[in-house]
Amino acid sequence: MFVLEPQHIYLNQSATDKQHALRLLADILIKDHLTQDGYLQGLQDREAQSSTYLGQGIAIPHGTPASRDKILQTGVRLAHFPQGVDWGNGNVVHLAVAISAKSDEHLQVLQMLTKALNDDVEQKIAKAITADEILAILNATPDSLLLHESLIKTDIHADDLDELAYQGYQLLKSQSLVGAGFLTNLHSDKAIFLQDNTWAVVGETSVFTPAVAIVKNHQLVDFNDKKMDTLVLIASNDKLDQQKLSNLLDVLFQTSLTNTNNSREIAQAIHAETVPDWIKKSVVVLNHHGLHARPATELVRLTKALTGDIKVSLDEINFVSAKSLTQLLSLGAVRGQTLTFIAEPNTDSETALDSVILAVREGLGETIEPINESKPNTVADNLADEWIDPFSQNEENKGIPASRGLAVGNAFVMRDKKYDYALISQNPSQEKQRLEQAVLTVKQSLQQLIDTASSKEIRQIFTAHLALLDDSELFNQVFVNLQKNMTAENAWHSHVEKTAKIQESLDNKLLAERAMDLRDVGDKVLAVLCGETLAELPNEPYILIKHDLMPSDVARLDNRYVSGILTAVGGASSHSAIVARALSIPAIVGAGEQVLEIAQKTPVLINGATGEFVINPTDNLLEQASLEQERQQLEQTKALQTCQIPAITLDNHQVHVMANLGDVNNAESAVAGGAEGVGLLRTELVFMKHSQMPDIQTQINDYKKVFDAMAHRPVVVRTLDVGGDKPLPYVAMKAEENPFLGVRGVRLTLRKPEIFKQQLTALIQASKQSSPDQDLRIMFPMIGRVEEWQKAREILDEVLAENPHNKLQVGMMIEVPSSAIMAEKFAPLVDFFSIGTNDLTQYAMAIDRGHPVLSREADGLHPSVLQLIDTTVKSAHKYGKWVGVCGELGADRQAIPILLGLGVDELSISSSQIALAKMQIRSLTLSDCKQLAIKALGCDTAAAVRALTA
């Protein structure tokens, strides 16, 4: 990286043309021992490829990769041409920034010069006399006032000024322009009357960037003995561009906004920036984890070299640069959402737009996998709700399973390093140089990791890390901090931590976890700045224990010695878990801070499949672990050999074991694995795999694959269960603060009756086309009120009037506590209940089952959940109706006998678990299960319930 200092600027230079200027620059670089003879050819070759003119009278000539062998050391020199040099295409250069760099470090010069390009500095540079004057021009931070179409909102329904002000605050806050405290410190008593029902209010608290929001109400409200329908909310701080504000107020004093309710027209009237009318194309994100670091890095690679602008948005309002990794990640785009790209007209970006869209559609280098709409809740299903003393001799403990396998070894506890460094420096230039050198060192280290990586996953992760260090958005604020006399360590760490916290606050859990990437890179740079070295890893079998494992930690691991991984925090979808699985290293994450207190070299046994670990295991326990591994392999083999045998208990009670299906193409393999039918067909994938609403025939083609594979076996179909947390890209759905309590499931389809009718029609016709006697069972998700059931049933009856079916059952999901409590009211109306234990547990215990900390406490065997299941089964059986369980609790070995004892008639589970579940049921007696269920209902905790079947 580079530091611009006065001695690097050569004043009062003159050149007859660009070639003359390049020779002059080459001589300067040689004179200052930065390059050797021959680098001039590299400068000339680069200009032949593309002009290095930036704008505002500035060019950055630099060599080609082929000329890097002529570079002696990294450096930058500036040549000032007061009279200007013709750089071609009518561009005149007054300042040439010559660069000698062994990699793409010239991009960092762009970061330093970007601010200058946002202002009219060409004449200032031309007329500059001293080197300090030029540096001041380049480093100036201009006053600002953001006026943008996205900060204008019309047709608001508010009753007073406070509600209008809140709407304006939300606009400002959504773009991180203001923070908490802005709204509460507004002085509405000092509101300024502009004209025609238009008022302005100024806020000066917690303003990060000066900006103006305009909100317009759908009706007039009373205010200060006058009327109001438009509020101009001004966010002001010491960087407010007073002249720009004065111009805005002049416009508002003279221009009435009464007759327009269009945000674009208002933006144009006040001379605000609008979303460009560029060529626009949209594409649905198909990546399993959305637009996270790896695909975003590939998108940056595709667009970075384009000379024209290319931007992307989720809402078609707030567009960010497709060339910036941090901005792309800030979108929080998840699978199924639509990205809208715009490309600058008449540039290479417009030409490249189709290829960018195609690359996104094909996964940006990732394999596109079908969405599994209901993943196993391994945390809820495997963890007790109480912690046992974690360090008692031979005591079992549990965390979140992250990578399967048994492992044993001595503990190697890697505690996070606490860095000690000064906060203030009086030499910003020196600090900047230190930071730049540290970043260069880390980039070289990352490149070495990429070149020597043992797996594709590791290469992808560190390529993303390298891209972070090439991202101008990451460095801009760091450079500002340095000018505030912060040390390099303080400026870097404070900004990295702030940015990571912003990423953690994203609604999307998977993308929020990627804050780990930023902290990983940040720690690497900080360690170099502080002169710290990496701890030596043991050269004997060990269990690595750490607060939160960074991907770079995993990359250092030697499979010959590391037996397993145990962390205090983290999730099963984190980067470290992904890499651990790629390296086939057993891993447990989220095991609690107590694991960091384990003494070094203490023997530890972990089971990455269950999340269990044991401190100081006895020799006997180690032997048992080895035998258990062999037993599990034999059990799986035997189960598969007997998977077609019915699940009948020793006292002759049959339980039907069905398959949960998300992908219609997996039906045949489910039958081969022992499935007696489908207990839950999640139809979301049929909709989500299409970029537009699938018509009836398209749906029929998909559903028929399942009916044909089942060959008269019963098929239970859940109608479309999307909304909120699972959006459809082509169905307009408003963002919700709590999507799990929002418009989802039947709540959505009742509001979109045409979608509902088309799906019901397709299901009925597909089953009849497969076989006139096909056993079709339709159930509605998220039923919480009797009215919802009645409305859904009415719509189905309308469809049946035109599409009769002679073997149809109609039921509902029990996943909302209200439906379980009122099961006796629902039972006479339905043909069956299907209990979704994942959501039922989540709602009953008010714990988000994806929460990184609390999810361990959301156990489906908690007595409260069992009471709801018991109520549901008793109500159904009273009216002769059957009950299934389609949540992952149905595959839990400890839960199966209790569910049987509660009277559950059917279990619907993942296809891979069917053979084992059926074999277990054949070893039970219903009488014993009933006694066990009675005891379970009397327990106080989930741990106590699990102890009954331990």
Alpha-carbon dihedral angle through residues 136, 139, 144, 147, given to the nearest 10 degrees = 140
Residue 770 CB contacts under 8 Å (≥ 6 apart), including other chains: 704, 707, 708
Secondary structure class of 453 (helix, strand, coil)? coil
CB of 202 closer than 8 Å to CB of 225 = no
Spatial distance between the Cα atoms of 947 and 300, rounded to a whole number of angstroms: 52
**Of 109, 160, 98, the residue nearest 1 (C-alpha):** 109
**Alpha carbon distances (Å) from 520 to 461, 496, 738, 760:** 11, 10, 30, 49
Spatial distance between the Cα atoms of 879 and 831, rounded to a whole number of angstroms: 9
Spatial distance between the Cα atoms of 318 and 669, rounded to a whole number of angstroms: 45
Spatial distance between the Cα atoms of 921 and 906, rounded to a whole number of angstroms: 12
Spatial distance between the Cα atoms of 915 and 673, rounded to a whole number of angstroms: 6
For the beta sheet containing 562-567, the strands, ordered from the edge strand earlier in sequence to the opposite edge, are 396-398, 612-615, 603-607, 406-414, 542-546, 562-567, 587-589, 400-403
Active site residues: 62, 292, 575, 886
Question: For residue 924, how many C-alpha atoms fall within 13 Å in the half-sphere facing its CB?
Answer: 27
Secondary structure class of 459 (helix, strand, coil)? helix
Two structure tokens written together for 932: 């066990």
Spatial distance between the Cα atoms of 337 and 340, rounded to a whole number of angstroms: 10
CB of 861 closer than 8 Å to CB of 879 = no
Spatial distance between the Cα atoms of 183 and 620, rounded to a whole number of angstroms: 64
Residue 682 CB contacts under 8 Å (≥ 6 apart), including other chains: 373, 374, 660, 661, 662, 718, 721
On the 0-12 / 13-18 / 19+ scale of CB atoms within 10 A, 844 is buried
Alpha carbon 772 to its chain's center:
45
Neighbours of 270 (CB within 10 A): 19
Spatial distance between the Cα atoms of 671 and 11, rounded to a whole number of angstroms: 81
**Of 739, 818, 824, the residue nearest 785 (C-alpha):** 818
Two structure tokens written together for 608: 């990455």
**Of 213, 214, 210, the residue nearest 242 (C-alpha):** 210
Two structure tokens written together for 93: 């250069």
Q: Are strands 226-235 and 612-615 parallel, antiparallel or unpaired?
A: unpaired
Neighbours of 538 (CB within 10 A): 16
Two structure tokens written together for 353: 């737009």
Residue 48 CB contacts under 8 Å (≥ 6 apart), including other chains: none
**Of 808, 799, 751, 750, the residue nearest 779 (C-alpha):** 808
CB of 576 closer than 8 Å to CB of 555 = no
DSSP state of 738: S
**Of 865, 875, 888, 839, the residue nearest 945 (C-alpha):** 865
Spatial distance between the Cα atoms of 476 and 802, rounded to a whole number of angstroms: 64
**Of 520, 617, 626, the residue nearest 575 (C-alpha):** 520
